[in-house]
Chain A
Amino acid sequence: MSLWIEAFNSDFWYACIGAVLFVIALYAFIVSQPLLKKLLAFNIMGSGVFLMMVGLAQYQHGPDSVPQALVLTGIVVAVAATALALVLLRKWVLSGGQP
């Protein structure tokens, strides 16, 4: 237990929050019925992973540009993927599919 208390700073705390977000978003991704909600859950899963990446890389060394740059790339790819998913979703709904 002392290991946890020693390591506990705000970076590690946010990494833990990221892990919790990932787990609940994963649950919601499987359970939720509307496709839009699945997409939101998938986005939050991604945010959880980003928080873990930055938090775990930083909790010993302080601010680190390398994981931050990778996460920046990740955020932009995530928004492009979301926009593309929304285009597919609209096309699917407009051609008579169930949202």
Chain B
Amino acid sequence: MWFDVILGIGLIVAAVGVFRSDELFRSVVFFVTFGILLALTWLRLQAPDLALAEAAIGAGLTGVLLLDTLGVLKKPAAVKFNLAKHTLATIVALGAAAGLAWSFWTLLQLPAPTYNLVKTLAANIDDSGVSHGITAVLLNFRSYDTLLEVAVLLVAIVIGLGLRSGIRQGELRGDVNTPEQKSPALLKSLVHVLVPLLLITAIFVLWAGSTRPGGAFQAGALIAAAGVLARLGNIDIATRVNFLLRTGLTIGVFIFLLVAVSPMLTGYAFLAYPSGWAGLLIILIELMLTISIGLILLSLFIHAPHDKHNGGSS
């Protein structure tokens, strides 16, 4: 119990640290700390899948993206104290606090709900084709949500690619004409060791997803992390295979839609797996989703607009 108390207070302290720091760099470091504490919190809430995702995405990948952006930003103008803004913020925050306190209070007074999702899930998991509850929910019981989620990711990367620098000169060449920068020897050799390890871990996490914590999102995040690391070590995989990259970005949504629509030809509902095939189809979709999610997150990093004398287009 004491651990929970300290962890909860730690979360709030880290969040306050993000807001109170004057320097953006400090804010980002506090934010990464917050992400790691949040991963621990998910473990305490018995949600190992969320802990994996938070550690890889919230603390790792977002941290890299934020630090990379700091290099582009100029020093922000000095902060002026704005009374009207502070008054507005105080009123809004007090209102939100009152609303939340009221709803927590009402929730406690409600009788226990008659439905119980935990039992419903346990009763139906044998029909789902996988034995891990979260994968069953994500790719069978609520697969509509997951389909739309991947579509959201695709929209994000389409906008991201549209805004990248140097789009006019030969799109397909990408950033190939970037001058090779020298990276430290230690970093380079470390990258050579770490990238294969990360990829193997990603494949294991993907495979583990059907029986225990793990799955496409965590594996995709690991693949993106491997790509980011390779990029930092100046191993430029992504821009050399531009055509494959574009195929990879869309293949997740494409295969998912194909699997979702094809049962309709034989009279099943949208997104209903034919009986007996669910397990196999879920693995297929997860594999494609892993590739797509990994590449989308990686591309959002690689194709972010750069400074002119700092790589990118000239």
Shortest C-beta distance, A90 to chain B (Å), equals 4
Residue of A nearest to B132 (CB): A65
The size class of the interface chain B forms with chain A is 35 or more
B38/A72 in contact, CB under 8 A: no
B100/A19 in contact, CB under 8 A: yes
B74/A99 in contact, CB under 8 A: yes
Interface residues of A (CB under 8 A from B): 3-4, 7, 10-11, 13-17, 19-28, 30-34, 36-37, 40-41, 43-44, 47, 50-51, 54-58, 60-66, 68-73, 75-77, 79-84, 86-91, 93-94, 98-99
B11/A21 in contact, CB under 8 A: yes
A34/B24 in contact, CB under 8 A: yes
B118/A90 in contact, CB under 8 A: no
Residue of B nearest to A68 (CB): B47
A27/B156 in contact, CB under 8 A: no
0/1 string, B131-158, CB within 8 A of A gives 1: 0011011100110011001001100110
CB neighbours (8 Å) of B8 from chain A are 13-14, 16-17
A-B contact pairs, 28 of them (CB 8 A): A3-B108, A4-B108, A10-B1, A19-B97, A22-B96, A27-B89, A28-B18, A33-B77, A37-B27, A47-B34, A51-B38, A58-B46, A61-B116, A63-B45, A66-B117, A68-B49, A72-B50, A73-B138, A76-B53, A79-B297, A80-B153, A80-B157, A83-B300, A83-B301, A84-B160, A87-B160, A87-B304, A91-B163
Q: How far is the CA of A11 from the CA of B164 in the complex (A)?
A: 43
**Beyond A22-B96, A22-B100, is A55–B12 a contact (Cβ under 8 Å)?**
no
Q: How far is the CA of A91 from the CA of B72 in the complex (A)?
A: 10
Q: How far is the CA of A19 from the CA of B100 in the complex (A)?
A: 7
Q: Could you tell me which residues of chain B, from 272 to 300, have a CB within 8 Å of some CB in chain A?
A: 293, 296-297, 300
CB neighbours (8 Å) of B109 from chain A are 3
Residue of B nearest to A47 (CB): B38
Picked from B15, B47, B113, the residue with its CB within 8 Å of the CB of A54 is B47
Known: A10-B1, A50-B50, A66-B137. 7 other contacts (CB 8 A): A26-B96, A37-B18, A57-B117, A65-B137, A68-B134, A76-B149, A80-B300
CB neighbours (8 Å) of A40 from chain B are 18, 27-28, 31, 66
B117/A87 in contact, CB under 8 A: no
CB neighbours (8 Å) of B146 from chain A are 73
Residue of A nearest to B139 (CB): A69
Q: How far is the CA of A44 from the CA of B54 in the complex (A)?
A: 13
0/1 string, B70-91, CB within 8 A of A gives 1: 1011101101100001101110
**Beyond A24-B93, A65-B134, A84-B159, is A79–B57 a contact (Cβ under 8 Å)?**
yes
A83/B160 in contact, CB under 8 A: yes
Q: How far is the CA of A94 from the CA of B46 in the complex (A)?
A: 44
Q: How far is the CA of A40 from the CA of B92 in the complex (A)?
A: 18
A13/B149 in contact, CB under 8 A: no
B88/A30 in contact, CB under 8 A: yes
Cβ of B44 under 8 Å from chain A: yes
Residue of B nearest to A39 (CB): B66
Picked from B73, B86, B133, the residue with its CB within 8 Å of the CB of A93 is B73
CB neighbours (8 Å) of B85 from chain A are 30-31
Picked from A14, A37, A54, A77, the residue with its CB within 8 Å of the CB of B19 is A37
Cβ of B242 under 8 Å from chain A: no
Shortest C-beta distance, B200 to chain A (Å), equals 22
A30/B153 in contact, CB under 8 A: no
Q: How far is the CA of A83 from the CA of B165 in the complex (A)?
A: 16
Q: How far is the CA of A16 from the CA of B18 in the complex (A)?
A: 20
The list of the 5 closest CB pairs from A to B, nearest first, reads A65-B133, A30-B89, A83-B300, A69-B137, A28-B19
